[in-house]
Structure 1
Amino acid sequence: MTDNHLDGHDVRHHTPQERAAHGKAARAAVPRSSHAAFAPGPQRPDPLEIIAKQSTTRLPDLVPIRYGRMSESPFRFYRGAAAIMASDLAGTPTSGLRTQLCGDAHMLNFRLLASPERRLMFDINDFDETLPGPWEWDVKRLAASLVIAGRANGFSTKQRAAIVLATVRSYRESMRSFAGLGNLAVWYAQFDVDRVRDRFAADLSARGRERWAQAVTKARSHDTLQVFDKLTHVVDGRRRIASAPPLITRLEDLLPDDRRGAVEHELRTLIERYGQTLQSDRRFLLEQYRMADMARKVVGVGSVGTRCWIVLLLGKDDEDPLFLQAKEADESVLAPYAGASAYRTQGERVVAGQRLMQATSDIFLGWERVEGIDGRRRDFYVRQLRDWKWVAAAEEMVPRGMRTFGALCGATLARAHARSGDRIGIAAYLGGGDSFDRALATFAERYADQNERDHQALVDAVHVGRLSAEAA
């Protein structure tokens, strides 16, 4: 759900000319060059207090792992600091045009994924923070992530600027292209591996093209059977998830007998009821499987400490697996600044945002609310644990490769925004020049400076014992 309006009416009821005029008019109030600004004042909230507030609702035994991962580097810190940046972005200029946001559009949230038709696609992956909001926020988070990753790789200021300029130019030019298309053409647009190769591979070196081909091959090997072999073993003739605490912990290793049965019942109820949010044919397919085992899993950086379960289901026989991941969905970090979700549950918010922004989504993507053994209701969304996925290794990129990758991310983000926002108004605001591109290159460097200061504050807090960190 988005709320782009023109003179009090939905943009869909205005002509393309009126929408373009509205976008151009926004430049007068909010010049594109103004997006370079980032100068937090003394009233800026303490970033560590923002992180600590999130930790109060998370599993206490996992919070030190989150701090440990965020302490490792400025880039790892940034990945876990979406709430901090949301607070900072709330004070930056916006054009007044809104779209469905990813909410955490850093570079590693763009990756190869499988479509239901078994085609390999490049798209956004994580939507825990999705919510309608100013389109600029996603672009700024992407741009800053590239500068932070570039600094970690030792890239020069000039090289980092070239990466951001290429990324934002790709977003801008793609949005202008989408503005000229009809609604269905925008909706059907997608980046499968063949289109990515045709559009972006020419910008890579021979070594870069070779590595892309390897990534495609690797993604296809990361399927359910691969994770089945990796995460399970046979115990007394039955398939079981292999515990590897604290990252993967089976229920029997996590909870005493008097509590384990209740949690197992909670998870079984979650999987059974979440199926009602699937299409009828996919619900029928899910019902062909039986639950075999479940475990708690630690995922990502920013998500560490949230309740995340992996569930092994078996179909035709014990060698016919389906792995599902049920992940807790809390309020989006954007909500205090962009407005509360219109959906009844946070799980539905995540799923609705993902379906709206992705070109094609996991067939088992759904949501449910359950009551825990502590009597508290919690929201979850469910998807396959792994299905033809590949994520880039930022630390292995050279400047040319990161520039091409950034351009691919920029085009992908523009496609996602064009589906839900006023693509014509945004394109008109951006225009044909590079004013916005150059502004974002400046903003990204300034925000990278702030991120380094925030990261150092976390490192210092851990060092003096204010926060407890654990490597895992």
Structure 2
Amino acid sequence: MKSEPRAPDAKASPADRRAFGRAQRTRCARGQWAESPQPDAKDRDPLGWLKASNRGRVPELVPVRHGRMLASPFTFYRGAASLMANDLAKLPHSGIATQLCGDAHLANFGFFASPERSLVFDINDFDETLQGPFDWDVRRLATLFVVAARDRKFKPRVGRDAVRQLAEAYRDRMRRFAQMDTLDAWYARLTSQTLLKLGAQDATELAVIRKARRSTSRVFASGATEIVDGRLMMREQPPFVYHDAKATAREIRRFRTGLPAFLAQYRASLPPERQRLFDRYELNDVTVLTPGVGSVGRRCFLLLLVADGVHPLFLQCKEACDSVLQAHLGPPLEQGSPGRRVVQGQKLAQAASDVFLGWAEAQGGRGFYVRQLRDMKASYKLEDFKPIDLLEFAEACGYSLARAHAKGGDAWAIDGYLGRSRTFNTALADFAEAYADVNQADWRRLKAAVASGKVAAVDLAEAAS
């Protein structure tokens, strides 16, 4: 059996690295990106995947996950990262590795503050991050633009045009990053001002930027907290923030019991200067926090800490499990807590990371990663998009994903593989449309299973009551 060529060392010449990328086209021609699995293939079992992906989740919240995924093909896709990973593993891929987001979709791109307080547009969720072929991120992100266009009932060409825009932006920016000074490429950021220059300064974009600038801990505290017996405490906001509930009373009790050890581990994961900053805060309150579609059923808690009795800090503690990609790509390069995997992957791929980003293990060995809940964070809402918004957002996401992949991988190799022709753009658009059909068929199967009683689904508010 012929062995696959090894990727050149990072210190190899740009010409050698680019040549390696071009040579990988014999492994997976760019036109092969158009290939997609058949929804009714004998080796595909979406409901079996759904059952397997629920292992380790809070049992009482599994029906909530099903309920959220039932809402539309768009929400189903958001929760189906592991199903798509199973499908991608059966398709040809480039063999050119980078640090993957692992679940690149529209809701995982948005604004947040850099440590210098600049407003940065970037990937903001790395639950599934792992080293792997760059095309897996690109395929997942591209498909969601078609799914989103269909959800908004745009004309069929809008989704395809958005994917082509994404592909062209990714290809163009990757070439630019390859040619940049190494440090300049590492430090590159897509700021709010750069984003505005990419497209029209329409009302939607400006509104999201203004929202991000207002989204600080102090502003959040004004509506989310109250004074109880002289202490700042979280206000009940079920089903999203609450102190107790039938579905999670057991979990939050366990988490609170081991909190001193958890915080000590978390503190140790921070750099020394940030440990000093963390030491200025005192823990006031702990609540349950409801995560997004893909994470429903994973444990997630919100810590309210206060400095000088009045300055709030909100830390999200989110359970980290093995990446859904690990079954196909193998374990992370460095073994350890899943929370550590998330943090290290995020720091490698992001342009700038939260100063409080860290990890720890709770009682029972469950891994968690920790980050600020509100730090000038804001994302776009699909329901606000017009066709032109989707196209401009695709360009911004292509730019951002290329920057992340160039930082976490080899821009010269990826650029060599993609080349100058638009073969990649067309094949990616073909794949995205075909896989959007697969996703819709899988969503219909879930609906039928719920209607027949084979799968349970409940409302989020009902589960939290």
Equivalent of 1:239 in 226, 232, 241: 232
Residue 21 (1) aligns with residue 9 (2)? no
Residue 210 (structure 2) aligns with: 217
Which of residues 352, 359, 364 is equivalent to 1:360? Answer: 352
Aligned residues: 456
Give the secondary-structure state (helix, strand or coil) at the position aligned to 1:306. Answer: coil
**Against the structure 1 CA distance between its residues 168 and 8, is the aligned structure 2 distance closer, same or farther, given a 3 Å change threshold?**
closer
Q: Give, in whole Å, the separation in 2 of the partners of 1:9 and 1:66.
A: 40
The sequence identity of aligned pairs, in percent, is: 40
CA–CA separation in structure 2 for the residues paired with 1:86 and 1:102: 12
Gaps of 5+ in 1: none
Q: Which runs of 5+ in 2 are unaligned?
A: 461-465
**Contact 1:94/1:134, CA 8 A, preserved across alignment:** yes
Q: Quote how far apart the aligned CAs of 1:274 are.
A: 0.4
How far the C-alpha of 1:260 sits from its partner, in A, is 7.0
Q: Distance in 1 between matches of 2:162 and 2:251?
A: 52
* Aligned positions of 1:264-275 closer than 5 A: 264-275=256-267
- State the secondary structure of the residue aligned to 1:13: coil
Task: State the 1:48 CA deviation.
Answer: 1.8
Q: How far apart are the structure 2 equivalents of 1:323 and 1:216?
A: 21
1:79 has 2:71 as partner: no
Deviations 1:57-96 (A, max 9, x none): 1111211211111100100110011011111111122111
d(CA) in 2 for partners of 1:153 and 1:194?
28
Q: Distance in 2 between matches of 1:241 and 1:460?
A: 40
Deviation at 1:239, TM superposition (A): 2.0
Q: Distance in 2 between matches of 1:235 and 1:252?
A: 20
Residue 273 of structure 1 deviates from its aligned partner by 1.9
SS at match of 1:274: helix
Q: 1:438 corresponds to which residue? A: 426
Match of 1:284 in 2: 276
Q: How does 1:56-455 map to 2 (within 5 A)?
A: 56-198=55-197, 200-201=198-199, 204=200, 209-251=202-244, 263-317=255-309, 319-342=310-333, 343-371=335-363, 376-455=364-443
- Matched residue of 2:362: which SS? strand
1:204-245 C-alpha deviation (Å, 9 max, x unpaired): 3xxx52322221111111111122122222223322212234
Match of 2:463 in 1: none
Contact 2:343 2:358 in 1 (8 A): yes
TM-score, structure 2 as length reference: 0.94
Q: What corresponds to 2:9 in structure 1?
A: 11
Asked whether the equivalents of residues 6 and 22 of structure 1 are also in contact (C-alpha less than 8 Å), the reply is no
For the Cα contact (< 8 Å) 1:149–1:395, is it kept in 2?
A: no
> Structure 1 length normalisation: TM-score?
0.93
CA–CA distance in structure 2, aligned partners of residues 428 and 144 of structure 1: 24
- Report the equivalent of 1:37: 35
Pairwise CA RMSD of aligned residues? 1.9
1:457 Cα deviation (Å)? 1.1
Change (3 A) 1:252 1:143: closer
Write the deviation string for residues 313-349 of structure 1: whole angstroms up to 9, x where unpaired: 01011x2110001010000000011111233110000
Instruction: From the superposition, tell whether residues 229 and 64 of structure 1 become closer, same or farther in structure 2 (CA, over 3 Å).
Output: farther
Query: Displacement, 1:393?
Result: 0.9
Distance 1:399 1:227 in 2: 32
